Structure 1
Amino acid sequence: MADGHLEIEQKYDAEAGFALPPLDDLQGVSAAAAPRVHELHATYFDTADLRLAAHGITLRRRRGGDDSGWHLKVPAGPDGKREHRAPLGRPRVVPARLAGLVAVHTRGAELVPVGTLETRRTVVVLRDGDGAALAEVADDLVSAYREEGDEPRRWREIEVELVTGGPELLKAAGKRLRKAGARKAKSSSKLGRLLGADVPAAAGAAARATTRARLRELTANGKLPTVTAGDAVLGYVAAQLESLIEFDPRARLGEDDAVHRMRVATRRLRSTLQAYRPVLDAARTEPLQVELRWLAAVLGEVRDLEVLRMRFADGPLFFLDDLARRERGAYRRLNLALKEPRYFALLDALDGLIADPPLGERAQRKARKELPVLVSRVWDRMARQYRTIDTAEDSDLARHETRKAAKRARYAAELAAPVLGASAKRVAKDAKRIQEVLGEHQDGMIAMERLRAVKGRARTPQDAFALGVLYGREECRAETARDRLAVTWSRTLGPSF
């Protein structure tokens, strides 16, 4: 996530009588600063059914120490967490930006206090020879309770967090602490320790992981004859849904390429439901296609403007300002759409597709026999669409439709690749080449349309001239793409399963 600090740390449990060992002689460490003591009070927020905790996410409002405020921590690797912060604000009102970053998990459920921690923290900073902080070692005496009036749970915890030091320092400090009697912490967060067995399994994530793992196991262990068409389709759907969920918070932050990646996952999902209709019951999947098309359109508005901005980096200032303003507006609309119940209902329905698959009549057929038929069918549709380009009344529209058909063929072949191997990979590669050539043509057409829309707003002759140059360049690009299309098509062989 673009604005988040990556926090790399390890936690250790310690008994009340534990003595912190010397750490100033570790390799690279020249000194340990004098201990500083902080009194911390933190209220943790989650949904009533602990959806954030189920995903290892913590959201708190903490007073005391050097970083009072709201802290959102999202897992990022075995020892890492991506941290996002906001000012203290109001005690019971979660900052909208932080709430948005976890909305893909909360899905409209209210965020409420679920626990309180009071911590007496003693911090020792390990420094190098130049005085730079390498790591912070926090010795925490914790009192925690779920609700006010509860008898608090108490424990001691040692936390080593890297500042500028490397993983070797983290490893060396951990070894020293364990030798002194500390133990690897039972939980990666204090809240997780407080909640304990109350933390539920992340049902949607677990179902996706199980579905993907089953397909990987079957395809990796020489069990291809046992893979069904349903196994292949559900494994691919689970992977794309996982990608959509992963890039949701990044898209909200405007992280580079995040909207594009989220849009691709959305399109792959929709294409799969179209191409593999015989495998999944259309009664449940067709409504999802409508919603996926809506989401792709919302993401597409932002993505199209991103593409224009990148293409016209050398354009006149007034034009770039106009694109930037439009892009900001598109991002606002995107963030509003990602807060809608409609979006959360789509996520729930997609999770339901994995947890309770609506298998069709051909789902139990052998994937090695069924997938070639379905991939070939999608390819043939693309070929028929391609042949309309020369005779269509609107040849540019026919090219655009061929591009969309090429994407569907590519995604259908990608789905089949774990089962069909090189033959499916070649089909996907061929379809991708067609898609890319037509994509360059379509990008040029969109660019020329935008240039025509603003030509009357040029402020100076120089601006008008620059727009004309850009238009000529885009026209040339589109024409080149049209010329390349026939050559590219002639080099594709089509399916040969």
Structure 2
Amino acid sequence: MAQPTPIRGLGPDSELGQAARRILAGRLADVRKPESKLNGTIDDDAVHDMRVATRRLRAALQVFRPLGGLTKLEHEVKRLQDALGDVRDLHVQALWLEDVAKKARREKPETRKGIAALGKARLTGLAPKEKRLRSELKRWSSRTLPRMLRKVDGLEDDHRFGGRRVKEPLHWRVRRVHKRMKVYMDAPDATSAHVLRKELKKLRYELEIFQPAFRRTLGALTEMLVPLQEGLGELHDADVRLEVFERLAAGGKPQERKAARALLPLIREGRAKRSAEIARELQRWHAEDIPRRLLQVLS
């Protein structure tokens, strides 16, 4: 995953308005970096990098929302993020099928043809998604970006960057993630995993924003979120895949049904492996008492 642009020269006593201007400018720069690779052919890596950058930008807009006038801009960024996500999700599934097709030499010729056909079907659905993405990119560059640059330049707030106004929402976010972890451990299904993943991403991006306002140990603790977040992301991909192929196995065309049924054991095996890895990572979280350590640093 692409790393955010480091924000230099901020500390706990910096004014919140100054911090907001500098952090939002950095997050905007991260969104713009992959843009040149999306002007012609849609580049897989650029889509992924820009999607992650829009998530970080939205997190910053939500954090600094109390400064005023950022809600509509955040909704505009979400439009772009959703369009990027639709393309990225199909890229992920198509790449998985491409990899499986290369390894399917032991399968019957008919099954191999079915797998190849499924891959082509995924790519066929990509064209309208890419068309929408190009439309949203045009809207972003011509409308949203100029408005955001004007708004960011005018943000003012003389509260402390490391003050109570910042700490209380972060405490709430840590406790919320901890609660979602317990829910997932009690019922580790696709829904609870997806909710935990979203909350964990929000916590990570918010901690990245406020890292300059706290002790250096916050950076090390933030990095400890990464394996769990990435594992939950892979689990989500497996859950999406499982839903799609179970549907094809039940009601697809004859060739699709055979291929989907041949792939379902592989998909379930992969999901079980990811689930076991996440269980081990959650055990580490509790053994090392990471939520309590985060709350201590944020005090």
1:297 Cα offset (Å):
0.9
| Aligned 8 A contact 1:276 1:374 in 2 | no
Greater Rg by CA: 1
Give runs of aligned pairs for residues 323-472 of structure 1, distance below 5 A: 323-340=122-139, 344-357=142-155, 359=156, 363-370=157-164, 371-389=166-184, 395-455=189-249, 456-459=252-255, 463-464=259-260, 466-472=262-268
Give 3-state SS (helix, strand or coil) of 1:269's partner: helix
The number of aligned residues is: 271
1:464 Cα offset (Å):
4.7
Aligned equivalents of 1:378, 1:345: Cα separation in 2: 32
Counterpart AA for 1:261: D
Aligned equivalents of 1:483, 1:381: Cα separation in 2: 19
Give runs of aligned pairs for residues 64-103 of structure 1, distance below 5 A: none
The verdict on how the C-alpha distance between 1:298 and 1:446 changes in structure 2, with shifts beyond 3 A counting, is same
Aligned equivalents of 1:397, 1:225: Cα separation in 2: 37
1:382 Cα offset (Å):
1.9
Aligned equivalents of 2:216, 2:208: Cα separation in 1: 11
Query: Deviation digits for residues 318-355 of structure 1, max 9, x if unmatched?
Result: 11111222223321221122234x76322122212222
The verdict on how the C-alpha distance between 1:464 and 1:345 changes in structure 2, with shifts beyond 3 A counting, is closer
| Aligned 8 A contact 1:441 1:477 in 2 | no
> Is structure 2 residue 271 aligned with structure 1 residue 475?
yes
Which residue in 1 is equivalent to 2:119?
320
The verdict on how the C-alpha distance between 1:487 and 1:276 changes in structure 2, with shifts beyond 3 A counting, is farther
Give runs of aligned pairs for residues 33-432 of structure 1, distance below 5 A: 216=8, 218-219=9-10, 224=11, 226-252=13-39, 253-278=41-66, 280-281=67-68, 284-312=69-97, 313-315=99-101, 316-340=115-139, 344-357=142-155, 359=156, 363-370=157-164, 371-389=166-184, 395-432=189-226
| Aligned 8 A contact 1:229 1:364 in 2 | yes
The verdict on how the C-alpha distance between 1:319 and 1:421 changes in structure 2, with shifts beyond 3 A counting, is farther
Which residue in 2 is equivalent to 1:41?
none
Which residue in 1 is equivalent to 2:290?
493
1:449 Cα offset (Å):
1.5
> TM-score normalised to the size of structure 1?
0.49
1:465 Cα offset (Å):
5.1
Aligned equivalents of 2:256, 2:223: Cα separation in 1: 46
Aligned equivalents of 2:141, 2:289: Cα separation in 1: 38
Query: Deviation digits for residues 113-151 of structure 1, max 9, x if unmatched?
Result: xxxxxxxxxxxxxxxxxxxxxxxxxxxxxxxxxxxxxxx
Which residue in 1 is equivalent to 2:106?
none
Give 3-state SS (helix, strand or coil) of 1:254's partner: coil
Identity of aligned residues (%): 24
1:390 Cα offset (Å):
5.1
Unaligned ranges ≥5, structure 1: 1-211
Aligned equivalents of 1:327, 1:460: Cα separation in 2: 18
Which structure ranks higher in relative contact order (CA pairs < 8 Å, sequence separation ≥ 6)?
A: 2
Counterpart AA for 1:241: L
> Which structure's residues are more often helix, by fraction?
2
Aligned equivalents of 2:13, 2:95: Cα separation in 1: 47
Counterpart AA for 2:124: R
Aligned equivalents of 1:233, 1:423: Cα separation in 2: 22
Give runs of aligned pairs for residues 10-21 of structure 1, distance below 5 A: none
> TM-score normalised to the size of structure 2?
0.78
The CA RMSD measured in Å over matched residues stands at 2.8
Unaligned ranges ≥5, structure 2: 102-114
The verdict on how the C-alpha distance between 1:466 and 1:243 changes in structure 2, with shifts beyond 3 A counting, is same
| Aligned 8 A contact 2:245 2:260 in 1 | no
